[in-house]
């Protein structure tokens, strides 16, 4: 049931929420300046999703975002930026980011999938662990080493003077906040977050920070503090949501050749691997045929009006 022109047969819909249950999800407004807020007993999270050449629901979504004009993001196909405020202490080694499914896909995987996973683990993220052939397939990586950019901020509402500002009495004083849509998330710190980076000897360079946290003991030593704002950005050039292709060098895979009515979802999750606590779930769904007109569970746009065509 594959199509040579997937854009005419498939439409991408993205929702997010605090659980796997899609009835708790809201529509994600891609490439807009809208944060989707999720709050649970475990944490408060804001999500901002950007996709190059986006052609999904709602159809009013911009095709791209200025985010991708930033020199450090020009090669990325998508960006999943978050801000995260825990409500209780969380061990750094317990927070994982990844993909999982609740049904097997081994009979739908293209030849060479095992090689592709090994390539991704070797070239993209050595911290990944998973089993794509399991009854409930999964790929998880430690958040601290998987995020492309990681920023430690002050406690929520904490005021600080941005770097380069000399006069603390100027109107340049800012405060740590969950908002993330206004600027590209950079590696570094804000306010008292710098003290945290210094205390745990976290490198300032993104790739060196990732390498630092590939060490299990370094992850165990780190703790996500309740009330502190953490910001992160995750993206790469390997998943093309415009043509539904996995773009591994020398191994491009058109995803639409391997989906059916039961296998047309990709789920990103941030969770606690020790307790099972879920911080957020983002669900990418390829709507097939007449389903491309399906309505999302709910739309929490700032206007309160549905923007889905």
The DSSP bridge partners found for residue 138 are: 100, 131
| Interval 3-37: pLDDT, tens | 444 444 778 899 999 999 999 999 999 999 888 99
**How far is the CA of 292 from the CAs of 289, 308, 309, in angstroms?**
6, 11, 10
Write the burial class of residue 41 (CB in 10 Å: 0-12 exposed, 13-18 middle, 19+ buried): exposed
Q: Are 254 and 1 in contact (CB under 8 A)?
A: no
Instruction: Please state whether 64 falls in left (phi above 0), alpha (psi between -120 and 50) or beta.
Output: beta
Residue 134: pLDDT band with limits 50, 70, 90: confident
Of the CA atoms within 13 Å of residue 6, those in its CB half-sphere come to: 20
pTM of the model: 0.86
3-class DSSP assignment, residue 145: helix
| Alpha carbon 129 to its chain's center | 17
| Interval 209-266: pLDDT, tens | 999 999 999 999 999 999 999 999 999 888 887 777 777 665 666 666 656 666 578 8
Q: Report percent pLDDT > 90 for the chain.
A: 52
| Interval 43-74: pLDDT, tens | 999 999 999 999 899 989 999 999 999 999 99
Collect all residues with Cβ–Cβ distance below 8 Å to 167 and sequence separation of at least 6: none
């Amino acid at each position: 049931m594959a199509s040579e022109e997937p854009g005419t047969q498939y439409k991408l819909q993205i929702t997010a929420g605090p659980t796997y249950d899609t009835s708790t999800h809201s529509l994600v407004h891609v490439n807009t300046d809208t944060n989707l807020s999720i709050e649970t007993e475990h944490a408060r999270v804001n999500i901002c999703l950007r996709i190059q050449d986006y052609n999904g629901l709602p159809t009013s979504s911009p095709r791209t975002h200025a985010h991708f004009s930033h020199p450090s993001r020009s090669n990325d196909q998508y960006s999943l930026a978050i801000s995260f405020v825990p409500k209780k202490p969380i061990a750094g080694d317990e927070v994982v980011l990844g993909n999982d499914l609740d049904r097997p896909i081994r009979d739908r995987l293209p030849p060479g999938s095992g090689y592709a996973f090994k390539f991704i683990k070797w070239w993209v993220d050595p911290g990944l662990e998973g089993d794509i052939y399991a009854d409930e397939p999964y790929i998880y990586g430690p958040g601290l080493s998987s995020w492309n950019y990681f920023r430690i901020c002050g406690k929520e509402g904490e005021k600080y003077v941005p770097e380069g500002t000399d006069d603390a009495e100027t109107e340049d004083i800012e405060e740590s906040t969950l908002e993330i849509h206004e600027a590209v998330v950079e590696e570094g710190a804000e306010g008292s977050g710098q003290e945290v980076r210094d205390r745990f000897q976290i490198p300032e360079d993104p790739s060196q920070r990732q390498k630092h946290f590939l060490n299990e003991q370094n992850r165990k030593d780190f703790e996500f503090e309740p009330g502190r704002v953490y910001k992160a950005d995750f993206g790469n050039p390997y998943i093309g949501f415009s043509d539904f292709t996995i773009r591994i060098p020398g191994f491009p895979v058109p995803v639409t050749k391997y989906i059916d009515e039961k296998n047309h979802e990709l789920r990103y999750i941030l969770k606690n691997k020790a307790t099972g606590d879920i911080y957020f779930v983002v669900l990418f769904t390829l709507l097939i045929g007449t389903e491309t007109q399906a309505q999302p569970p709910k739309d929490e746009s700032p206007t309160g009006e549905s923007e889905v065509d």
